Amino acid sequence: MKNKCHVFKVQSKVQPKTKTQAAHAIPKLYSLDPEQKDQLIEVIEKLLADKTTLVAGSVVMAFEEVCPERIDLIHKNYRKLCNLLIDVEEWGQVVIINMLTRYARTQFLNPNINESLLEEGSGGDRTFYGSEEDEDEDEEDKEKKAEAQAIAKRKPYVMDPDHRLLLRNTKPLLQSRNAAVVMAVAQLYFHLAPKAEVGVIAKALVRLLRSHSEVQFVVLQNVATMTIKRRGMFEPYLKSFYIRSTDPTQIKVLKLEVLTNLANETNISTILREFQTYIKSMDKDFVAATIQAIGRCATNIGEVRDTCLNGLVQLLSNRDELVVAESVVVIKKLLQMQPEKHSDIIKHMAKLTDNIQVPMARASILWLIGEYCEHVPKIAPDVLRKMAKSFTNEEDIVKLQIINLAAKLYLTNSKQTKLLTQYVLNLAKYDQNYDIRDRARFIRQLIVPTEKSGALSKYAKKLFLALKPAPILESPFKDRDHFQLGSLSHLLNAKAGGYQELPDWPEAAPDPSVRNVEVPEWTKCSSREKRKEKKVEKPFYSDSEGESGPTESADSESDSASSSESGSGSEESGSGSESEESEEGSESEEEEEEDEDEKDKKKKKKELKKPARESESEQSSEEERKQTRKIKQRKSDTESESEDEADSESESSQSESEDSESEVEVKKKKKAAEAKPPSKPVKKESKKEKKEMSLLDLDDFEPAPSPQVTPVNTFLSNSLVTDLEGLSLSDAVLSPATIAPSSALKSYELLHRITGEGLSVEYCFSRQPFSPDANMVAVQMQFTNSATSETKNLHIEDVKLQSGMRVKEFPEIELLPAGETATAVMGIDFCDSTQAANFQLCTHTKKFFVTIQPPVGELMRPVFLTENEFKKEQGQLMGMNEITEKLTLDEKCRNEHAIVQRVTTAANLSRVPCGSDKECRFAGRTVNSSSLVLVTVATKEEGAAQLTVNCEKMVIGTMLVKDILLALTQ
């Protein structure tokens, strides 16, 4: 009792250290005497009102232990805690951030409310075993979808200023030296921030992977959960998750999980190459996990399924039995998707029953043979004969599959297997395991018709040989996000003692006025508050950092846009926290700040004079322009670089934040720049911000910026371009308008004249280098105005691209008269994938949604190789990088000329010299990554041929094989 009384006395004392000790004593007193809870809550309430940083962390910890449900105690102190957070000690920061995460989930609306409603309205996948009720539920699902879309349109989301205050004040803590603080901020952003802003935590979490293995383990557990829903923010840091030989096994498995979650059509070839290396490891558990990861990649990405299957079949000849066994289990799951195409693999696996001794692998082979016994009618009975001999020595899981195999063969091929089935069932009848005895008794009554057999025996074949759904290989971290990230419960994937559930978002926003604090009148109009309003808040990250990843944009914009919203909240809380501080030395501070204000005003005046001088220079005479033209041309190179950097930043921000004001301004500037004649160089002053060094600014974490080259036609005169057209230069950089497709190129319809109300658009891939950016594919578009009226202002808007893709728009066509035709060239960086580029084609009155999807053959450029170079490169692209197919050539395509013509039509490749008359070789490189593509067509007698494609990118190789096969056989 003395301790208890001491606590009540201490809370009124001034010393912060004493208050901290009192706060530490509260949880201990509560555990000794829970009946004193009400009195302890009073103490907690008074300590929460304290404004010193030393007390804040300890009292919030006491609050979490004694009364976490009393969120009403936090309302008045919320803004103060947010503002004090940066100065609290590290472990206090962790406690406060975790508490504020749960508080925010009860007091603010979901910032992604519109997107989540639309996702729910779209409906999930139907289950395999449907019921009659599912049909009745279809109408309800449609109604819910319509309601969700209506709500999303009716109620635009506006972030609460206090919500923004919390996000802004926790963001600097991503640079903390304490891994627990960084992890706490990361989970807060994941659970509370809008999707466009969550990407800022990726760089901080990747930095923690350089820490100790214990820290890596916790971080990777959380990253693995994040990558399931927010895969895009970690894609730029893919190489940071590559596995080192010195990593412990548990770290290797977690990194493998993250790599598998990040796999998509663009990076799958790189990831599979890594997996090939991992299979050679001496760590057997890690090798088994790698084989399972390959199976998951094959399931999720259909383009590489055959490649992965062939690679796993090659592993069946591995010396290590564990590798073979794990490969058999994964192959079994993959074969269930397309069993009729892979009867050869099933036959190959049947031969392995003599060598493989791992029970799970033997059982998987027997299940495959039994399930698809109709595809291997000659081999299946022989496998059953061998298994019957060793039945008594097998493991229980294998015995059960032998009985199933016997039953399925009895139903499909009873003539050959009737006696064998009876023999196996008799052996199982006297087995020591009661499960096996019961299974044998049940199957005998089901498949062998007798007088006593029931009605089920008629449906035995349907029961045993029913079509079964292919297994879905999912991540073990799929449903872990319902636990709060960074908690012990999330780590264990089970609710731990003392864990507090993360609340659901409220449907309606609670009253925000509960967080308002009455401010004394003498502090409301202080000069200090006025100076705070004048100061412009500088974003935490510079522009170059904020836009380094595809999902980190809109962060600085949202901060600046919401600063005015959260200003009132920060001012009130700031005045409340500073009301009891001493004001000594305030006069000297005011004098210093007034001097700084005068300096700022002088700088602004100087900056305002510069545009005035520029306007005067534009109105100067032509003679002065001629004199200064030489100087301008010298400066044009440096100006073009700064312009392109500004353009690239504006383009990335446009694609990620559609409703921002900056987007409109950038588009207006862009249109104005394109409308000016090319002979006049555009003046533009770009001030590069000095990049601040921080813990997060690590070179190897920065994604490579997309290269931008300024088109030459903005600096060269038209006459000079026409003069250059006559020269045959190998690497000549010409205007995009000079690219003209040959007559043999295939045209595609982009917009039909009926859909376009008289405007029709066709496009073709010109197979010429796109001069502004060599990594882009040149697309030539032909506009035809079939209407009776003229069309104005043809341009592109609302470009929607997959991550990594880029578009260089064609210059706006100001006027297209009726009956006339115009051409334009645009560049698209497809990132070596056939994913479509979606955008709006706009006129002065209409907008049309259009899509450009490239054939895989247009994603490459020809490259010249000698015969020896071709063979050398081909030798380095073997194994999973080589795809071979046999075919029968079309009757019109059995000579060398026809083969070359069809292959080069299907793909933009060049012919490679070859000494043999029966081989045609072709070579090229992908436009984006310059990955080598080698194609060989070897002809044989009577029109038979063999097609071989060697490519670093396995997805490209697989798709290219299909296109060339189609071209040669039709």
pLDDT in tens, 39-98: 899 888 888 888 888 888 899 999 988 888 888 889 889 999 999 999 999 999 999 999
- Among candidates 304, 302, 244, which has minimal Cα distance to 274? 244
* Range 275-284 burial, b when 16+ CB lie within 10 A, else e: beebbeeebe
At residue 181, the pLDDT reads 95
What pLDDT, in 10s, does the model give residues 178-191? Answer: 999 999 999 999 99
Residue 825: phi and psi, rounded to 5, are -125, 130
Predicted confidence band at 473 (pLDDT cuts at 50, 70, 90)? confident
| Percentage of the chain modeled with pLDDT above 70 | 70
Alpha helices in 51-178 (DSSP H): 53-66, 72-75, 78-84, 90-107, 113-122, 132-154, 161-170
692 burial level (CB within 10 Å; 0-12, 13-18, 19+) = exposed
CA 40/CA 26 separation, integer angstroms: 7
Give me the numbers of helices (H) and strands (E) for the chain, helices first please. Answer: 38, 15
CA 360/CA 908 separation, integer angstroms: 47
CA 378/CA 444 separation, integer angstroms: 24
Helix, strand or coil, per DSSP, at residue 617: helix
What is the edge-to-edge ordering of all strands in the sheet holding 821-829? Answer: 747-751, 759-769, 777-785, 821-829, 806-808
Residue 851: phi and psi, rounded to 5, are -140, 135
Pick the range with the lowest mean pLDDT from 65-74, 336-345, 430-439, 475-484.
336-345
Both tokens of 362, joined, read: 């033997």
At residue 142, the pLDDT reads 60
Helix, strand or coil, per DSSP, at residue 946: strand
Q: Give residues with Cβ within 8 angstroms of 327, minimum separation 6.
A: 291, 312, 313, 315, 316, 318
Predicted confidence band at 648 (pLDDT cuts at 50, 70, 90)? very low
Predicted confidence band at 223 (pLDDT cuts at 50, 70, 90)? very high
**100, 166 Cβ separation under 8 angstroms:** yes
Distance of CA 775 to the CA centre of its chain: 22
CA 495/CA 493 separation, integer angstroms: 7
* Range 425-458 burial, b when 16+ CB lie within 10 A, else e: bebbeebeeeebeebbeebbbbbbeeeeeeeebe
Long-range (24+ apart) CB contacts under 8 A made by 247-253 are 247/213, 248/213, 249/283, 249/285, 249/286, 250/217, 251/213, 251/216, 251/217, 251/220, 252/283, 252/286, 252/289, 253/285, 253/286, 253/289
Q: What does each C-alpha distance from 675 to 635, 672, 734 come to in angstroms?
A: 22, 5, 20
Residue 905: phi and psi, rounded to 5, are -75, -40
Report the predicted TM-score, pTM, of the whole model to 2 decimal places: 0.54
Q: Give residues with Cβ within 8 angstroms of 523, minimum separation 6.
A: 529, 575, 578, 579
In angstroms, how far apart are the furthest CA atoms of the chain? Answer: 114
Predicted confidence band at 570 (pLDDT cuts at 50, 70, 90)? very low
